[in-house]
Amino acid sequence: MRIAVQGRVSLRGDYHPSGNSNAAIGAIAAAMLTEAPTSLKRFPRTRSTEAMLNVAQQLGTTIVEDKANTIQLLTPHIQTRILDPTMTRDIAASILFLAPMIIRRQHARIDWLRPINRLHTHLTALHELGQTVDVEGHHITVTAERWDTAELVLTWPSVTATALVCMLAAGLGRKTTIYNAASEPHLRLLQHQLVQLGAQVEGIGSNLVTIFGWGDKPGPADVELPTDHIEIASIAAISAMNEGQVDIHDVYLPDMRMILKVYERLGMDYYLENTPENGDHQILHIPEQRHLKISRASGDTPTIDTAPWPGFPSDLMAITTVLATQARGTTLIHEKLFDNRLLFTDKIKAMGGNILLCDPHRAVVFGHSPLRGEYIDSPDVRVGLALLAAALCAEGETIIDNAQLIDWAFHDITTKLSTLGAKIEGVSL
């Protein structure tokens, strides 16, 4: 998929974010822990959630469209104990199906075509919980073993490893304490879902979680997915660097505190509005911003670095780098969590961005840099959205190839941007 983007168009209007696709992915797997129905509201139709639903259907789940953005999942039986390559090749989060498979079928095999070392945290946790695990090449087999009490420390606060352990603890253990758990908003949603199914969870949304298993059969669940804080933050950045005036609805402030603190350092102005009908959610107003200027409160060049939640999320590093090119001043970007995530900066440099890549983890951004339209290709979903942001504030037209990757995590985001005034059109290949 290729799109043409006209730059220098100010965005105006109200923006309604979709449900969190990462939360939806975990909720689909958790729905299969029970024979009872699970309703998922504010469900985002992204490429990632569609891939997850496709695997769930192959395992025996029936999907019913209740109404707009609401689906109901029902899994009376899990029909196979094997996740074959056709199920795992499209989405790495398919590892989460291991939990319902071994809880309800006691044994499962996964044919994993990706590097096994990416599952180090997951497999270590399974061993520590007493599960029988055998790895031969790309084949992983797991046999369920119940436990009374267990304590484990995750070797890394991995989101999928935490989700996997939480589900197993609810279905196989009596009492399980998890140290160094991931605490992203989508983990909080999953833990609340487990409570609805019958488990008791202490420390929801924290790095120390204790789970008491449900004992009897788990029941039904009625889950409302949270709005996507990554989408909200991305739209705020796009509006700020385009001199836009956008009001973003359904914002849950606890999920945005660190993000907004970083944006303040890049000179972004915003204000929040409480509305009675939104309950604990607010409207995030992004007023027109003529000149972004880096804040140097300490006198030093500000550093923006990623960290496990509740630190600044790596998923926003690309678009924040683009935002920094549009702010007057110098910023050091430090990607501490993942390798090679800053290699995309050569694409922003080709558009006129003044960026010095120090090494695969650090880049210095010198702003303000006027950007110009170019032909660029998107390597992944988060960079794709950052390139779209750069294109929207660049002079002239930008062609983005592989733009379908943006839809992997964000529901219909280009259409929603178009309603704000963005000029984005598909281009024939």
For residue 1, give Cα distances in angstroms to 267, 361, 384, 406: 34, 30, 12, 10
**How many whole angstroms from its chain centre is CA 161?**
15
Instruction: Return phi, psi of residue 283, to 5°.
Output: -100, 130
Q: First vs last Cα of the chain: how many Å apart?
A: 7
Q: Are 316 and 233 in contact (CB under 8 A)?
A: yes
For residue 418, give Cα distances in angstroms to 12, 129, 233, 412: 10, 49, 18, 10
**Among 103, 155, 157, which residue's Cα sits nearest to residue 131?**
103
Which residue carries 């979680």 as its tokens? 209
Q: Is 66 a catalytic residue?
A: no
> Position 193: which residue type?
Q
Which residues, 6 or more positions from 220, have their beta carbon under 8 angstroms from its beta carbon?
A: 34, 36, 37, 38, 39, 196
Which residue carries 């469209």 as its tokens? 65
Which pair of tokens denotes residue 30?
Answer: 């958790």
Catalytic option among 14, 66, 90, 111: 111
**Among 184, 182, 178, which residue's Cα sits nearest to residue 202?**
178
In SS3 terms, 93-125 reads as HHHHHHHHHHHHHCEEEEECCCCHHHHHHHHHH
Distance CA 23, CA 159 (A): 10
Query: HSE on the CB side for 33, CA within 13 Å?
Result: 34
Q: 82 has which bridge partners?
A: 109
Residues that are catalytic? 111
